[in-house]
């Protein structure tokens, strides 16, 4: 800190003492004068940072090179004409992955939570990119992949057409389901999109109909709230053609997200929350919350 800031800090420390007296601020033995602080600061600066110019500055910079390297900081300089280049760890981080590659986690559940079944980095999130990533995982695991079965029995993903298509072409025998959390989130976003024309006071009721469909225990129990949501049986909601069209469209894919159409093999894992946690840890611990 500079001289003014250090003087202010020292004054604050003095005032926090239990035996502090206002007269102590006038005692230069306890509270140094501004001139004394500036003198001491200049002595400290000369010892630790070297002179502000001349040959001594270059020598101090050379002396500090080892300290910088120990802190993972790279420093290069030229004496004539004088120039210094500094690269810190955060500078290196912002220079990596300028192409915004995609990191994909493949996880499987266990008693302790989620375990990585594979991870790959691709140029983008296209079907071709995903297919290449899945193929590379299989090339590494070979015949021992997925407990010697060659592929997983079930996948749960977001509603990504490219990812789903790549999974079906790589493992056509596997079943595929959608994360019910993300499906419900997508419906809620649709209801709140002003271009769809759903008034605020009816959005909650419409999402309630959809949740009844999602968590129905049997196909018959799922069909009843669907009809209520489309033709409004037993409810007092105006007709919204865009909502009807949207709900019918996702109803045609009900086997992917409605719990009434799921099997015991999922063992109650109806969301990909394990994946969300893994990505959170990756961003916090590996990337230190810095986007690359």
**Mean pLDDT, range 251-255, rounded to an integer:** 91
pTM above 0.75?
no
How far, in Å, are 51, 75, 84, 89, 111 from residue 78 at the CA level?
Answer: 17, 10, 7, 22, 58
**Mean pLDDT, range 256-260, rounded to an integer:** 89
Is the pLDDT reported for residue 1 higher than 80? no
Where do the structural domains in the chain lie, given as residue ranges?
1-49, 54-93, 102-178+264-287, 180-261
139 or 192, which is more confident?
192
Produce one character per residue of 101-133: b if its CB has 16 or more CB atoms within 10 Å, e if not. Answer: eebbbbbeeeeeebeeebebebeeeebebbbbb
Is the pLDDT reported for residue 220 higher than 70? yes
The per-residue pLDDT for range 18-53, each reduced to its tens digit, is: 888 888 888 888 889 999 999 998 888 888 888 877
285 or 223, which is more confident?
223
Q: What is residue 284's predicted lDDT score, i.e. its pLDDT? A: 77
Q: Which of 8-12, 109-113, 204-208, 288-292 has the lowest mean pLDDT?
A: 288-292
């Amino acid at each position: 800190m500079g001289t003014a800031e250090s003087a202010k800090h020292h004054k604050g420390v003095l005032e926090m003492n239990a035996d502090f007296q206002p007269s102590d601020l006038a005692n230069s033995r306890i509270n140094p004068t501004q001139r004394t602080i500036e003198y001491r600061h200049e002595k400290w600066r000369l010892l630790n940072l070297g002179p502000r110019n001349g040959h001594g500055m270059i020598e101090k910079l050379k002396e500090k090179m080892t300290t910088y390297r120990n802190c993972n900081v790279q420093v290069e300089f030229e004496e004539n004409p004088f120039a210094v280049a500094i690269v810190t760890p955060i500078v290196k981080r912002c220079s990596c992955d300028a192409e915004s590659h995609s990191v994909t986690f493949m996880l499987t559940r266990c008693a302790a939570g989620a375990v990585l079944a594979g991870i790959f980095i691709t140029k983008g999130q296209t079907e071709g990119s995903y297919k290449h990533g899945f193929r590379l995982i299989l090339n590494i695991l070979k015949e021992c992949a997925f407990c010697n079965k060659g592929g997983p029995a079930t996948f749960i993903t977001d509603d990504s057409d490219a990812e789903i298509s790549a999974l079906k072409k790589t493992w056509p025998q596997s079943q595929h389901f959608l994360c019910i959390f993300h499906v419900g989130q997508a419906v809620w976003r649709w209801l709140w999109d002003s271009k769809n024309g759903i008034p605020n006071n009816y959005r909650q009721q419409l999402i309630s109909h959809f949740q009844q469909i999602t968590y129905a225990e049997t196909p018959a129990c799922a069909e009843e709230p669907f009809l209520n949501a489309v033709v409004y049986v037993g409810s007092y909601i105006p007709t919204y053609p865009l909502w009807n069209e949207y709900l019918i469209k996702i109803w045609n894919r009900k086997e992917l997200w409605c719990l009434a159409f799921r099997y015991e093999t999922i063992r109650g894992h109806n969301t990909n929350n394990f994946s969300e946690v893994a990505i959170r840890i990756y961003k916090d611990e590996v990337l230190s919350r810095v986007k690359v």
